[in-house]
Each structure stands twice: as structure tokens, then as C-alpha cells.
Amino acid sequence: QGYDMKRIATLMTLFCIVVLSAKAQLLWKVSGKDLPKASYILGTHHLAPLSILDSIAGFKQAMNDVEQVCGEIVMAEMQAPATIQKIQQTVIMPGDTTLRTLYTAAQYDTLSVKIKKLIGVDLIDLMNMVKPSFITTQLSVVIAIKAIPGFNPKQQLDGWFQTEAQKQGKKVTALETIDSQINMLFDSQSLQRQAEQLLATVNHLEDMEQQARKMTEAYMAQDLKKLEAAMNKKFGTAVDALPEEEDALIYNRNRKWAESMPNIMNSQPTLFAVGCGHLMGKRGILNLLKRQGYSVTPVK
């Protein structure tokens, strides 16, 4: 696939990956059935450095061939003042609920000490009225910075593809609305469940760091099977997603996307750049499109 030793050496330096797996694949071509032109699906990973683009065979040609890029959401809308205001309103807990009311005194003290150590913020001063799920998402960035060499939260693949599409005069569209993502992140679980997961996260930071590393190493090796195993690893704590949470986060969305993708592809040849966790397995969008009669093949 055209890898030179310099690129492989760079990947080894960043993530200790020696060779790419024989099952390595992030970019897929969707054709056949009633499509006038082929479309593409590229699995992204929010912890991966942009250097992975040097190792994805065919992505430049795919970008040239398509007329639009479709993401999970339109990333530029996330920066809009109205969206920021909506997030600020959504993450505040209702009524007189505070973090202190969601935890025992001992649990709150543990949480406060560990978060102060991690991000230098005193809960009672700045976060006492903020939903636990919002704090967990902020901690995930801190954990990633600690666990992944070279991780830059300001440089992410999803945003890169959309920005590049705009530079090339191509349309940018999305499979979901900003509102649906905000709801999924901050309102899809009870406050009690959010509190459980936040406490479990700070009490098992090493597990979270290890999972972030393994997921990123598998992604950089472009090995979806290893990535799926790392994503689905259970730790026996509240950080493990419940079946209904996995459905809400991944599988129900896959089903909706697979239903809407044919119309999008028929309107214009499209590059879908979405989280690689949505590509994998029997309930992943690759298999769901195959079941609809499309030809879904790896780009070599």
C-alpha cells in the first residue's frame, strides 16, 4: 500500500506500531444497486493525529471523486454562539440539584480531590451545578492528553475532512442535528447514572488511559477488529455501558444512518467521515448497507 520506511518509523515512534495488520482498513467504497456514482465511508477516531492520513490508501482520490462530505454533525455548527449557549444551558442541573446532592459526603470528597488533581478545578467553585456527564466528557480529553503521545484536541479528523471539503468548494452535510448530539451526550441518562459513571471514571483512571491507548493503537494500525475489541472491553465497573446505552450511542444511530445514507448517496457522491465504531460488526453501517444490496469494498 505504498508505505515507506520513514512513515512506518514515524508511526512506530508515535504509537509503537511496527506493521499494519492484514485486516487493516479504514476507507470503504460503496457502489452498485442504484447508485449513479460510488460513495465512500471513512472511519475516524477522535484521538488519532492527522498524520494517519498519510497511511490511508486512496483517501485523496476519494476526496476528489465525491461532491460532498457528510459527517455525524456539521462540526462548524458546534462553534456557533447559539450552540455554545444551548450547551451551557443544557449542562446545568435542574432545580436545586448539585453534585453534593448526588453523592455521599465521602464520595464527593473523593471526586473533588481527584478532579482538582487532574484539572486544577475546585468542584464547589465551578462545577457543583454541572451535570456529571459534562464533567466526564471534559475528563476524557484530559485522560487522552495524558495517555496518547501527540494527541491534540484541536486537530481532529472529523473536522479536518469537513474543512477540506469547504476549501475544495464541496458541500458539507450531516447525518444528525446538533440538538440530537447534545441530547445524547447530556440528557440520555439519569443524573444518578451520570454520577455513577463520573465517580467510576475518576476511581479507575488507569483503566481509562489503557483503553484510550489500545483503541488508538488499533486505529493507527487500521485494524477494526482490534479496535472493536478495545472499545467493547468490560471493566466490571460503572464505566461499562449498559446494553440500552450501547443501543442509544451506537446501534440505534447506525440503523437510522443506514436508512438515510441511500438518499444522500443518490443525491451526490459522498464521503461519509464518521466514528469508526459505527463501521464495525453485524450491526455496523458497512454490514447494514451490504444487507440493502450495496457493494461495500475496501479501498486498496
Residues 270-284 pLDDT 10s: 999 999 999 988 999
pLDDT at 4: 46
The region of weakest confidence among 38-47, 69-78, 218-227, 268-277 is 218-227
The answer for residues whose C-beta is within 8 angstroms of residue 51's C-beta and 6 or more apart is: 10, 11, 14, 150
pLDDT at 12: 34
Q: What is the mean pLDDT of residues 10-28?
A: 47
Predicted confidence (pLDDT) at residue 286 exceeds the cutoff of 50: yes
Residue with more model confidence, 22 or 139: 139
The region of weakest confidence among 33-37, 171-175, 193-197 is 33-37
Residues 61-100: tens digit of each pLDDT = 999 999 999 999 999 998 899 999 999 999 999 999 999 9
pLDDT at 224: 83
pLDDT at 116: 86
Predicted confidence (pLDDT) at residue 203 exceeds the cutoff of 50: yes
Residue 35: pLDDT band (50, 70, 90) is: very high
Residue 1: pLDDT band (50, 70, 90) is: very low
Residue 167: pLDDT band (50, 70, 90) is: very high
The region of weakest confidence among 132-146, 171-185, 281-295 is 132-146
Q: What is the mean pLDDT of residues 119-141?
A: 84
Predicted confidence (pLDDT) at residue 174 exceeds the cutoff of 90: yes
pLDDT at 24: 55
Q: What is the mean pLDDT of residues 127-141?
A: 90
Mean pLDDT value across the chain? 87
Predicted confidence (pLDDT) at residue 134 exceeds the cutoff of 90: yes
Residue 125: pLDDT band (50, 70, 90) is: low
What length does the chain have?
A: 300
Q: What is the mean pLDDT of residues 38-52?
A: 91
What grid cell was written down for 135?
A: 464533567
Predicted confidence (pLDDT) at residue 48 exceeds the cutoff of 50: yes
Predicted confidence (pLDDT) at residue 8 exceeds the cutoff of 80: no
Residue 26: pLDDT band (50, 70, 90) is: very high
Residue 23: pLDDT band (50, 70, 90) is: very low
User: Distances in Å between the alpha carbon of 262 and those of 39, 90, 126, 252, 280?
Assistant: 10, 33, 46, 17, 19
Helices 191-203 and 205-220 cross at an angle (nearest 10°) of 80
Share of the chain above pLDDT 70, in %: 91
pLDDT at 124: 67
